């Protein structure tokens, strides 16, 4: 990781004192050589992380400090074995009612405003010529809105950040519009609708905290998975909205087929052109994200480490 944004917020240059909000990534109670308790912490934000020590630890005062907590911290940056370390002088928990936090400073976030992306998806659905399709997709967007705005698309790998799910969906929609222009025989409304619903069940598959970062899989996520849950959700939404069986079945097939192959979790391959487009742009957007993420810290003309998620390939970063 790079340098924490916290370290740039210097409030006293003479002693290199910094102050700001960050996340407790890990915390452990330890004992120093004199037998006194202290806290060994790792703080993080969207820029990086730092090891920290709270030497003046008081169990009664600091009992609420836990991994995953957002805190306001003030401390002095020192060096320990040629590495930055933070000596904590003051620390308290974030107070939602009075504190303002720019979430993008704390955790990696989608590069576009999530409310704007959501509105774009709604506008797309409102443009559908088939009234049943429009009714179904608008119902599902409204039903999932609260979590859709901050949910990640994965535990790891592609779009595993706050707002990653809606960003992945929005990126796929942009890709698909170009493809539909090239192949006018495609039913573009079915393509776009399939893209909007294909991963909505990720909100049931992943366990996610208030920061919008996944901590693991839910029980249903492990036992059933987002593809099967997505098909079931279409069934329920279709019953609620009264849409016809054909629209329901087409959306269910797109969800079943969007990973293309059984080894990737799809029990059916894409069996009509619109389903093929959804599966193709899903893979392309995921791969592009993973490639650019792997190349972010690579120098021009250099190679990345081997990427196990992409057939153990080393990736080359072109020279400008």
Residue-level pLDDT at 94: 93
Residues of the chain falling short of pLDDT 50: none
pTM of the model: 0.82
Residue 107 contacts residue 23 (beta carbons within 8 Å): yes
| d(C-alpha 23, C-alpha 65), whole Å | 10
Mean pLDDT (the chain) is: 93
Residue 52 contacts residue 43 (beta carbons within 8 Å): yes
Residue-level pLDDT at 63: 84
- What DSSP character marks residue 311? T
Q: What are the pLDDT digits (tens) for 63-86?
A: 889 888 899 999 999 988 888 899
């Amino acid at each position: 990781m790079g340098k924490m944004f916290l370290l740039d917020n210097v409030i006293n240059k003479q002693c290199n004192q910094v102050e700001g909000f960050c996340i407790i990534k890990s915390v452990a109670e330890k004992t120093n050589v004199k037998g006194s308790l202290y806290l060994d912490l790792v703080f993080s934000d969207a820029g990086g992380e730092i090891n920290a020590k709270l030497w003046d630890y008081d169990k009664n005062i600091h009992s609420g400090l836990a991994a995953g907590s957002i805190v306001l911290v003030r401390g002095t940056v020192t060096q320990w074995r040629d590495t930055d370390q933070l000596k904590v002088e003051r620390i308290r928990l974030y107070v939602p009612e009075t504190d303002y936090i720019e979430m993008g400073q704390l955790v990696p976030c989608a590069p576009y405003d999530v409310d704007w992306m959501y509105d774009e998806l709604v506008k797309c659905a409102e443009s559908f010529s088939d009234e049943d399709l429009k009714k179904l997709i608008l119902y599902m967007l409204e039903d999932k809105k609260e979590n859709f705005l901050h949910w990640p698309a994965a535990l790891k790998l592609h779009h595993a950040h706050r707002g990653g799910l809606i960003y992945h969906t929005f990126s796929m929609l942009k890709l698909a519009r170009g493809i539909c222009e090239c192949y006018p025989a495609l039913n573009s409304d079915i393509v776009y609708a399939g893209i909007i619903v294909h991963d909505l069940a990720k909100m049931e598959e992943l366990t996610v905290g208030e920061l919008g970062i996944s901590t693991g899989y839910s029980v249903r996520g492990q036992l059933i998975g987002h593809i099967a849950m997505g098909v079931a959700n279409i069934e329920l939404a279709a019953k609620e909205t009264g849409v016809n069986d054909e629209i329901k079945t087409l959306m269910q097939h797109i969800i079943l087929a969007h990973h293309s192959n059984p080894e990737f979790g799809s029990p059916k391959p894409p069996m009509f052109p619109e389903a093929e487009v959804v599966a193709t742009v899903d893979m392309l957007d995921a791969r592009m994200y993973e490639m650019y993420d792997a190349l972010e810290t690579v120098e021009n003309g250099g190679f990345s480490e081997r990427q196990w998620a992409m057939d153990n390939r080393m990736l080359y970063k072109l020279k400008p």
